């Protein structure tokens, strides 16, 4: 066969179909990965519904999933405890606290990683703040910023977010490879270049790990802070007031809304992580 004939030789279907087969294989792998979790989720809901109906469990002890879903629909935009507006207000407070905690934690981490004096001063304060219970600081923030001021709830959420962000970012900035650091210094790179090209890329996986934890902590901080008073159209007050009135179907509906919000925020962070650091080893798909 001449070289021209070899060039014009038709390509086999396996070569052209390799990419679609690879995509189908990855799709099947993902379905197999997530399918057990989905089956367990719906299986637990079904078993929960059957057990409540079979044992005739009172609603104030454990309402059925169908009753919780009905309460969520009935109370979403109206009624004594409108969950829709409460969810929006709680989400805003949690996001505000999350952003405040991230900014403060990252700033403290950069200072801690750069200067020994800052490390010796900031780390003990951060550890002390992390050891303070939420129920102790929430009334203080309510007194300082105002009982009905959303900032008081944001500050409680920010306090919970601050420590994991600061610790993880500090580790990422400090625990760089000594060989890489020595190589860059051998090329007479400035500290700014080392920070931009070595320390910050090394820090990003640590930062996203902290962010996954911080999203949940911000919701916890905002909701717990709402227990101590303030506006009634927030999830924390809905949970407290509906439980006091023995409307536990509404209580469970508010809890589920908070849980779903936490899951969504976590998935958003995971999606952003895949876009920002696709090169990291933890995000690489294993070879088939």
Output the DSSP codes for 109-127: HHHHHH-HHHHHHHHHHHH
What mean pLDDT, rounded, does the chain reach?
A: 83
The mean pLDDT value for 184-211 works out to: 88
Q: How far is CA 62 from the centre of its chain?
A: 28
Q: What is the DSSP string of 181-194?
A: HHHHHHTT--HHHH
Is the pLDDT at 7 greater than 70, yes or no?
no
- Sole residue written with tokens 């420590």: 163
Helix ranges (H only) for 175-247 are 178-186, 191-194, 200-226, 235-244
- DSSP-derived letter for residue 4 is H
Task: Give pLDDT, residue 103.
Answer: 95
DSSP 281: G
Residue from 261, 260, 287, 284 nearest 274 by CA? 284
More reliable by pLDDT, 181 or 98: 98
Dist. CA 222–CA 214, nearest whole Å:
12
Number of Cβ atoms within 10 Å of the Cβ of 99: 15
- Cα 116 to Cα 111, 182, 228, distances in angstroms: 9, 20, 39
Which tokens go with 255? 């809890």
For residues 156 and 70, what is the distance between their CA atoms, to the nearest angstrom?
Answer: 32
Q: Residue 56: pLDDT above 80?
A: yes
pLDDT-based confidence at residue 229 (cuts at 50, 70, 90) = confident
Q: Which tokens sit at 221?
A: 């901080």
pLDDT of residue 217: 92
Tell me what percent of the residues of the chain surpass a pLDDT of 70.
90
Per-residue pLDDT tens for 150-174? 899 999 999 999 989 998 999 888 8
Q: Do residues 86 and 234 touch, judged by C-beta distance below 8 A?
A: yes
| Residue 65 CB contacts under 8 Å (≥ 6 apart), including other chains | 45, 48, 49
Section 218-240 average pLDDT: 88
State pLDDT tens for residues 73-99. 888 877 778 888 999 999 999 999 999
Q: What is the pLDDT of residues 242-282, one digit of tens each?
A: 888 888 889 999 999 999 888 999 999 999 998 988 876 66
Q: Would you say the C-alpha torsion 111, 113, 114, 116 has a positive or negative sign?
A: positive
Q: How far is CA 29 from CA 73, 280, 285, 288, in A?
A: 36, 21, 11, 10
- CA distance linking residue 126 with residue 225, whole number of Å: 20
pLDDT score of 211: 94
pTM as predicted: 0.80
pLDDT of residue 212: 92
End-to-end CA, the chain = 35
Mean pLDDT computed over 91-119: 88
Report residue 59's pLDDT band, with 50, 70 and 90 as the boundaries: confident
Tell me the C-alpha to C-alpha distance, in Å, between residue 17 and each of 21, 83, 265: 6, 50, 37
pLDDT of residue 218: 93
């Amino acid at each position: 066969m001449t070289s021209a004939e070899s060039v014009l030789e038709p390509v086999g279907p396996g070569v052209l179909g390799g990419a679609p087969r690879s995509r189908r294989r990855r799709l099947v792998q993902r379905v197999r990965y997530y399918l057990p979790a989905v089956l367990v989720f719906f299986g637990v809901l079904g078993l929960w519904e059957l057990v409540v109906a079979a044992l005739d469990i009172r609603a104030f002890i454990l309402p059925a999933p169908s009753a919780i879903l009905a309460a969520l629909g009935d109370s979403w935009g109206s009624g004594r405890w409108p969950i829709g507006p409460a969810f929006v207000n709680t989400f805003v407070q949690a996001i505000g606290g999350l952003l405040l905690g991230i900014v403060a934690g990252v700033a403290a981490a950069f200072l801690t990683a750069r200067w020994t004096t800052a490390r010796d001063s900031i780390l003990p304060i951060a550890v002390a703040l992390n050891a303070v219970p939420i129920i102790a600081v929430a009334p203080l923030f309510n007194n300082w910023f105002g009982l009905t001021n959303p900032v008081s709830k944001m500050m409680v959420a920010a306090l919970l977010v601050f420590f994991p962000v600061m610790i993880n970012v500090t580790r990422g900035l400090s625990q760089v490879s000594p060989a890489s650091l020595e190589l860059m210094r051998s090329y007479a790179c400035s500290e700014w270049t080392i920070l931009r090209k070595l320390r910050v890329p090394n820090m990003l996986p640590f930062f996203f790990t902290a962010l996954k934890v911080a999203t949940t902590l911000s919701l916890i901080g905002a909701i717990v802070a709402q227990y101590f008073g303030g506006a009634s159209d927030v999830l924390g007050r809905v949970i407290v007031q509906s439980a006091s009135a023995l409307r536990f179907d509404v209580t469970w509906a508010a809890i589920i809304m908070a849980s779903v919000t936490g899951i969504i925020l976590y998935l958003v962070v995971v999606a952003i992580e895949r876009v920002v650091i696709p090169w990291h080893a933890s995000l690489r798909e294993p070879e088939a």
